[in-house]
């Protein structure tokens, strides 16, 4: 293997240590950052992920309030829960675990979260402020984590050609907005490709930094990677593998072994981008508590319905 591994676990631990220091500073002021987590239903993967977030919050000194309504909850009842969290001064950030059951409107739920508590960075106001270059806007945790991986690895992004494969509102689009910003770890030329892109391999080979988030196991093969590229694999896919005890293994959206023969740096799956998502959520939550503490010293804005 030619490429060096980007250790997401190590970098995530650095960020969590920084978060813990900021949490301790808030504690000295009598403030405990609080995160409200809403998990609707019994989806096993969502329950595991929420559990991981809750444990990470506890380790960082962040209060969590887990709310687990039935999967049959009505839209109006779920919106009422969001309103109560918006009004709760002990809760500085709100996270609604997606996906929601089909009968619920995810867009309306996301937009009901007040922008000051939108630590997931999914509210259109948050995303619009990122697009405008507002440094105080909450950035979606996964693309923000990708940027931190790139920055802390020491990769130069200014003027580099970044190719992003995937255009989702959760990763691809906000990733493109972040990498276009006039700041350290960005200032890049950005191309966004997707499953409908013609001659996709020709496009991906342009990327000095290749970020892949399409949700298709090993879609990006070695021949699609530019020699010496930095490869960030956001995908986590379960594929059958009867040689393992579990009967499956986790792979990314990139064919790792093939890509590693051509790349200079590459993220593993698991252990690459995954650990960063929760760390960036913690970072946003502490930032929300710091902002609320400052606003309370002045005048806390009303929370509109």
Active site residues: 53, 97, 120
Separation between Cα atoms, residue 237 and residue 255, nearest integer Å: 12
Task: Give SS3 for 38.
Answer: strand
| The pair of three-digit structure tokens given for residue 172, joined into one six-digit string | 């691809």
Task: Give 239's strand partners.
Answer: 249
Neighbours of 32 (CB within 10 A): 14
Separation between Cα atoms, residue 172 and residue 258, nearest integer Å: 23
Q: What is the largest CA-CA distance in the chain?
A: 61
Separation between Cα atoms, residue 296 and residue 294, nearest integer Å: 5
Separation between Cα atoms, residue 120 and residue 288, nearest integer Å: 11
Non-local (6+) Cβ contacts of 158 within 8 A are 186, 187, 188
């Amino acid at each position: 293997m030619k490429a060096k591994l980007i250790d997401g676990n190590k970098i995530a631990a650095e960020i969590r240590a920084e978060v813990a220091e900021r949490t301790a500073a808030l504690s000295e002021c009598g403030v405990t950052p609080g995160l409200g987590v809403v998990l609707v239903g019994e989806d096993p993967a969502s329950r595991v992920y929420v559990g991981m977030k809750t444990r990470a919050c506890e380790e960082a000194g962040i209060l969590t309030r887990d709310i687990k309504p039935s999967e049959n909850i009505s839209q109006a009842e779920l919106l009422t829960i969001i309103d109560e969290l918006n009004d709760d001064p002990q809760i500085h950030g709100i996270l609604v675990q997606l996906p929601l059951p089909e009968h619920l409107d995810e867009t309306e739920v996301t937009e009901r979260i007040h922008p000051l508590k939108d630590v997931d960075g999914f509210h259109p106001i948050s995303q619009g402020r990122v697009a405008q270059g507002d440094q105080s806007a909450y950035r979606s945790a996964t693309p923000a984590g990708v940027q931190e991986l790139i920055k802390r690895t020491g990769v130069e992004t200014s003027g580099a050609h970044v190719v992003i494969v995937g255009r989702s509102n959760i990763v691809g689009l906000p990733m493109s907005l972040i990498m276009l910003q006039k700041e350290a770890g960005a200032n890049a030329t950005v191309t966004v490709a997707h499953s409908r892109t013609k001659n996709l391999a020709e496009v991906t080979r342009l990327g000095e930094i290749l970020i892949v988030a399409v949700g298709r196991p090993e879609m990006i093969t070695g021949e699609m990677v530019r020699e010496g590229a930095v490869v960030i694999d956001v995908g986590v896919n379960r594929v059958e593998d009867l040689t393992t005890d579990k009967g499956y293994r986790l792979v990314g959206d990139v064919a790792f072994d093939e890509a590693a023969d051509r790349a200079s740096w590459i993220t593993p799956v698991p252990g690459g981008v995954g650990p960063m998502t929760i760390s960036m959520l913690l970072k946003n939550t502490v930032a929300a508590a710091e902002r609320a503490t400052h606003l309370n010293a002045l005048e806390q804005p009303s929370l509109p319905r």
